[in-house]
């Protein structure tokens, strides 16, 4: 079965312009808007994520101080999800805990 | 196909319930060892200020020194980290999994244990640019969300996902006003055709599949990477190269991305 899929894929003609759907065009254009020569990879961003999240939690202008991290987070959904979850923890950890 | 999600959506359907006002604090047994942490079942969840205060009192240097060498200090530090990660999980997963969900406790415990192992393994890479606990939370978040993504997408193949690709091309209408006028419509059609041709010519099959799977179908990059037998970093680079090539080609053809967007938004 896997072999069949492999051959099907192998002999599938390369998509022409008529097969490039609107969703793909739109996605590409939107992502090109924030594309630049200097971009961090997911690994680079992960290495700086704790620092970035702390800046945000402390009310600093993290986007200005670490613009490449901000740019990556704008482009990468998964890194953004991880940043957001981390931020949720930091916000909760800074909240005063009510006495029982 | 129900497992697919749009890139704008999240796992929110898995989450139902509200968060506690403060961290639920796990009661730590007095005598702990690495083995006991690994095998520990968390007996109850309580709220208390004192444990949090005690655990947060360590400086980065103290965390590192406590964790560096085996012994009672390391065991105590590990037990504290274990509790901190468990406390943090309801907040980290608030958009994805409710603490009331039967899967929650097992995932939190699995995450805490895996986090401790990874922290010990990577202790030398901590550069002190953040609080040590923030660094640990970052690791825990990555482990927990990766596991959630893996579970959510485990039964979806890339072929299945790409079957209906990204739909057939239609008249430009996804960003345009109902009737931009015949001249503007012709201009839009021409621009869209040029962009379609450029995308078809510039993107390799692999790049095109990656963009559709991640950007349109919403499959996480990590999951697409596994199915393409690569890693998340390499896949990001593959897509980055595609974006750069397209941008360059559009510029060479005298097409500015901003102008194209404006054309369709006009």
Q: Domain residues for A72?
A: 38-93
Check residue B21 and give its pLDDT: 42
Chain-chain contact of B260 with A27 (C-beta, under 8 angstroms):
no
Question: Which among B129, B215, B244 has CB closest to A27?
Answer: B215
- Give the chain A residue nearest B194 (alpha carbons): A17
B40 contacts B83 by C-beta, under 8 angstroms? no
How far is residue B4's CA from residue B130's CA, in Å, rounded to a whole number?
A: 36
The more confident residue out of A24 and B90 is B90
- Checking if the pLDDT of B120 tops 60, the result is yes
Among candidate residues B118, B153, B188, the one where a domain is terminated: B153
Residue B258 domain-assigned? yes
Check residue B100 and give its pLDDT: 94
* B171 in the same domain as B143: no
Residue B142 contacts A where some CB pair is shorter than 8 Å: yes
How does residue B197 score in pLDDT terms, banded at 50, 70 and 90?
A: confident
- Checking if the pLDDT of B121 tops 70, the result is yes
Residue B180 domain-assigned? yes
* B25 in the same domain as B114: yes
Chain-chain contact of B23 with A39 (C-beta, under 8 angstroms):
no
* B172 in the same domain as B106: no
Check residue B26 and give its pLDDT: 35
Chain B contacts in chain A segment 28-47 (CB below 8 A): 28-33, 35, 37, 39, 41-43, 46
Question: Which among B7, B196, B233 has CB closest to A77?
Answer: B7
Q: Domain residues for B127?
A: 12-153
- Checking if the pLDDT of B22 tops 50, the result is no
User: What are B33-59's pLDDT values in tens digits?
Assistant: 444 434 433 333 333 333 444 456 799
**How far does A27 lie from chain B, in Å, by closest CA?**
7
Residue B4 domain-assigned? no
Of B26, B27, B141, B163, give the one whose Cα is nearest residue B89.
B141
Residue A1 contacts B where some CB pair is shorter than 8 Å: no
How far is residue B84's CA from residue B185's CA, in Å, rounded to a whole number?
A: 58
What's the mean pLDDT in B54-70? 86
Chain-chain contact of B91 with A78 (C-beta, under 8 angstroms):
no
* B100 in the same domain as B26: yes
CB atoms within 10 A of CB B141: 30
- Checking if the pLDDT of B179 tops 90, the result is no
Q: Are strands B25-26 and B45-46 parallel, antiparallel or unpaired?
A: antiparallel
Residue B133 buriedness (CB in 10 A; 0-12 / 13-18 / 19+):
buried
What's the mean pLDDT in B187-212? 84
Residue A3 contacts B where some CB pair is shorter than 8 Å: no
What's the mean pLDDT in B201-218? 86
Residues of chain A with Cβ-Cβ distance to B21 below 8 Å are 95, 98
How far is residue B10's CA from residue B96's CA, in Å, rounded to a whole number?
A: 7
Chain B contacts in chain A segment 48-77 (CB below 8 A): 48-51, 53-54, 76-77
Predicted ipTM of the assembly? 0.78
3-state secondary structure B196-238: HHHHHHHCCHHHHHHHHHHHHCCCCHHHHHHHCCCCHHHHHHH
Residues of chain B with Cβ-Cβ distance to A95 below 8 Å are 21-22
Residue B126 phi, psi dihedral angles, 5° rounding: -70, 120
Chain-chain contact of B170 with A22 (C-beta, under 8 angstroms):
yes
* B147 in the same domain as B18: yes
pLDDT tens sequence for chain A (100 residues): 566 665 655 555 555 555 667 777 777 888 888 888 889 999 999 999 999 999 999 999 999 999 999 999 998 889 999 999 999 999 998 876 543 3
Residue A23 domain-assigned? no
How does residue B146 score in pLDDT terms, banded at 50, 70 and 90?
A: very high
How far is residue B40's CA from residue B48's CA, in Å, rounded to a whole number?
A: 20
* B148 in the same domain as B17: yes
Question: Which among B22, B133, B246 has CB closest to A32?
Answer: B246
Check residue B1 and give its pLDDT: 35
Domain tally for chain A? 1
Question: Which among B56, B134, B200 has CB closest to A54?
Answer: B134
Domain tally for chain B? 2
């Amino acid at each position: 079965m896997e072999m069949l899929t492999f051959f099907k894929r192998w002999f599938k003609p390369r998509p022409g312009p008529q097969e490039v759907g609107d969703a793909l065009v739109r996605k590409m254009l939107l992502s090109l808007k924030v594309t630049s020569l200097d971009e961090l990879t997911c690994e680079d961003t992960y290495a700086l994520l704790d620092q970035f999240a702390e800046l945000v939690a402390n009310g600093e202008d993290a986007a200005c101080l670490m613009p490449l991290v901000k740019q990556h987070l704008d482009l990468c959904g998964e890194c953004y999800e991880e940043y957001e979850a981390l931020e949720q923890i930091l916000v909760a950890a800074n909240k005063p805990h009510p006495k029982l | 196909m129900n497992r697919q999600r749009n890139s704008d959506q999240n796992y929110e359907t898995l989450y139902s319930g509200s968060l506690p006002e403060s961290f639920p604090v796990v009661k730590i047994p007095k005598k702990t060892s690495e083995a006991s942490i690994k095998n520990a079942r968390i007996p109850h969840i309580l709220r208390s200020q004192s444990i949090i205060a005690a655990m947060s009192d360590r400086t980065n240097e103290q965390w590192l020194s406590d964790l560096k060498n085996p012994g009672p200090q390391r065991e105590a530090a590990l037990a504290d980290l274990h509790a901190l990660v468990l406390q943090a999980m309801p907040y980290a997963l608030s958009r994805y999994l409710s603490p009331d969900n039967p899967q929650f406790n097992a995932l939190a415990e699995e995450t805490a244990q895996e986090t401790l192992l990874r922290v010990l393994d990577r202790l030398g890479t901590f550069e002190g640019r953040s609080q040590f606990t923030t660094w640990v939370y970052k690791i825990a978040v990555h482990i927990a969300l990766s596991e959630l993504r893996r579970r959510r997408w485990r039964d979806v193949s890339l072929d299945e996902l790409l079957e209906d690709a990204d739909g057939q091309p239609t008249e430009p209408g996804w960003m345009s006003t109902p009737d931009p006028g015949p001249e503007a419509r012709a201009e839009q059609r021409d621009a869209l055709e040029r962009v379609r041709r450029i995308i078809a010519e510039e993107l390799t099959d692999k790049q095109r599949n990656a963009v559709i799977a991640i950007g349109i179908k919403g499959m996480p990059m990590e999951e697409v990477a596994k199915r393409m037998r690569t890693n998340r970093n390499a896949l990001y680079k593959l897509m980055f190269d595609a974006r750069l090539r397209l941008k360059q080609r559009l510029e060479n053809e005298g097409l500015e991305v901003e102008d194209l967007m404006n054309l369709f938004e006009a």
